[in-house]
A and B are shown apart, each in its own frame.
Chain A
Amino acid sequence: MSTGYEAVIGIECHVELKTATKMFCGCANVFGGEPNTKVCPVCLGMPGALPVPNEAALEAIVTTGLAFGSEIPAFSKFDRKNYFYPDMPKDYQISQYDTPLTQGGTVTYWLEDGTHKSCRLTRIHLEEDTGKSSHAGSEDGRIAGSSYTLIDFNRAGVPLMECVSEPDLRSAQEAVAFLEALRRTLLTLGVSDVKMEEGSLRCDANVSVRPIGATEYGTKTEIKNMNSFRSVERAIESEIERQIETLTSGGRIVQETRGWDEFNGVTHSMRSKEEAHDYRYFPDPDLVPLAIPREDVARMKAALPELPWRRYERYTAEYGLGSKQATQLLDNLALASYYDRVVACGGNPQRASNFVLGDLSRLANEHGVAVADSKVSPEHLSELVALVESKMVNSKIAKELLERAWEGGGSPAAIVASEGLAQTSDPAAIERFVDEVLAANGTVVADYKAGKENVLGFLVGQVMKASRGKADPALVNELVKKKLST
């Protein structure tokens, strides 16, 4: 950073787990729905109701921790975090204070240029979500200036994982790459939909700056209200800029919470003073401690699927795919699975990737169908890859074959055989076509010999046409040039 300052960033995010039911009761865990229809005495905080933890949520967080190489302690518990707010049904939140279900861990992420870095995790813990408030009566739906608030408790009690990272990130881009890596892993594990637009991923950033080379941390601010990865990037960049400007002009950074204003592209202070909440944490007496057996941990570890970073390494180091291609595949798990099956059938992984990400995805987008749901089976695509690889068909024929396979045409190899679409690579046969074309296009030949070299393409095209597209275009090119030079 030419300013002489470096940014120090940590991310804190909340991930909604996609269990079938809520964290402490059997109400359905679904997004949307008519307000206050997915509630019961427990998640409404009615008198006499008691929480009972969802075993799928417990398993999800342990699996997540294992995926990041976190430590799973032998003993854990739930604690009450006491504070009053209208979207809190019990006016305390069941959370975890000093014995989170996972400790430590690392998220490996990679940047656009392919360089990879890691960011350490401090912890991940389990807690319950609050209800949703809508503030009415103000111009922009914000709290300030509102005259009353409406509350829907459908979301109250949904299981949340709170993931806290160490301040290892050094730029807004790194922060986004970290989030993307986190997201990919959570999707691979199937524990959450991780959609910021639906609230199943929410994140805050802690941002500070310090002179390059300094070892002490600068004062940090907490940035909230970022609704997309793009917002996260813009907000962090804006805050870094603001902090550097403040410091270089002799000002001080106030430790505070700042809200990102998407419309104006700036952060605003949300609190005039740092108000410390006394949450009065204590172990929840309605819940018994969790003793996580080591055999269960070992079983869950052994059952982990191939994680994104490992898959990225396989794609880039073993298959030789570029970083961008590998990332594209990884951002769509269904596509990556499809791709893996194609490669498993045999064939060049790079060429397979070109097909999958190129023409096949284009067709899929045009038709509004997912690749994995199309009629092109991985086996058939693999055949096509092999046909192209062995030069049995040229790329034009290959494109046609793909279109036909898309329509449900079946095995490309069979089609080639039955319709005689194999590429002609026999030099004698091609030579006959070349001779025919040159004979029929005397003026063009004369033009070429007179120096108009760009007419070569026309002549090659004519040969391709004469061979009904089956000639090996490279050979044609070579032969035509040769004949013209004599």
Chain B
Amino acid sequence: MPADSIDIRYVAQLARIALTDEEIERFGKQLGDLLGHVNALAELDTESVPATAQVVESRNVSRADVERPCLDRETVLEQAPQRQGGFFRVPRIIAE
């Protein structure tokens, strides 16, 4: 099992949450603590055990290719944080 610490900065980047230095330290400790408990799972013999894919046994739930009513556009856009005409508007995307 990996170590009891997490690269909080990297994970916060993946999760798109800006953290203060204080949070990075605090969460680092708290989650390291949790990981310590979680690492106990290594004690279990899971070699030939299948991972639970789904608790329920259903398979193949699907729906017919039939139209259902859409939402009215005003309903959709009236709560948009920023809109322009019929579009959602966001600040520029810096290509990575």
Residues of chain A whose beta carbon lies under 8 Å from any beta carbon of chain B: 19-21, 25-28, 34-41, 44, 52-58, 77, 84-86, 133-135, 137, 143-144, 146-153, 270-271, 275, 278, 280, 283, 285, 287-291
* Contact pattern, B 1-34, Cβ under 8 Å of A = 1, otherwise 0: 0000000000000101000000000000000000
Confirm or deny: B38 has a beta carbon within 8 angstroms of a beta carbon on chain A: no
B91 to chain A, nearest CB (A): 6
| A residues less than 8 Å from B61 (CB atoms) | 52-53, 287-288
- Which residues of B, 40-96, contact A by the 8 Å Cβ criterion? 53-54, 56, 58-71, 73, 76-77, 84-96
The total number of A-B Cβ pairs within 8 Å is 124
Min distance, Cβ A33 to any Cβ of chain B, angstroms = 10
* A36, A152, A271: most-surrounded residue (chain B CB, <10 A): A36
Q: How far is the CA of A390 from the CA of B68 in the complex (A)?
A: 59
- Verify A20–B66 contact, CB threshold 8 A: yes
A278 to B10, CA, bound (A): 11
Q: Given known contacts A41-B71, A44-B71, A135-B93, is B86 in contact with A152 (CB within 8 Å)?
A: yes
Q: Which of A57, A144, A152 contacts B87 (CB 8 A)?
A: A152
Whether the Cβ atoms of A37 and B88 lie closer than 8 Å is: no
**Would A55 and B59 count as touching, CB distance under 8 A?**
no
A84: B residues at CB distance < 8 A: 16
Cα distance A36–B79 when bound, in Å? 13
Return 8 A-B CB contacts under 8 Å, by A number. Answer: A20-B65, A40-B68, A56-B65, A57-B65, A85-B93, A149-B90, A150-B88, A152-B88
> Measured between alpha carbons, how far is A137 from B91 in the docked complex, in Å?
11
Q: Are A28 and B86 in contact (CB under 8 A)?
A: no
The answer to whether B96 and A37 have CB atoms under 8 Å apart is no
Q: How would you classify the secondary structure of chain A's contact residues: helix, strand, loop or mixed? A: loop
A182 vs B85: C-alpha distance when bound (angstroms) = 39
Which are the 3 A-B pairs with shortest beta-carbon distances?
A26-B68, A56-B65, A150-B87
- Chain A residue numbers with a CB within 8 Å of B58 are 288
Q: Do A148 and B70 touch (CB < 8 A)? A: no
Residues of A within 8 A of B14 (CB): 278, 280
Q: Is the CB of A19 within 8 A of B65?
A: yes
A37-B73, A39-B76, A144-B95 known; A26+B67 contact, CB < 8 A:
yes
Question: A35 to chain B: which residues have CB within 8 Å?
Answer: 85-87
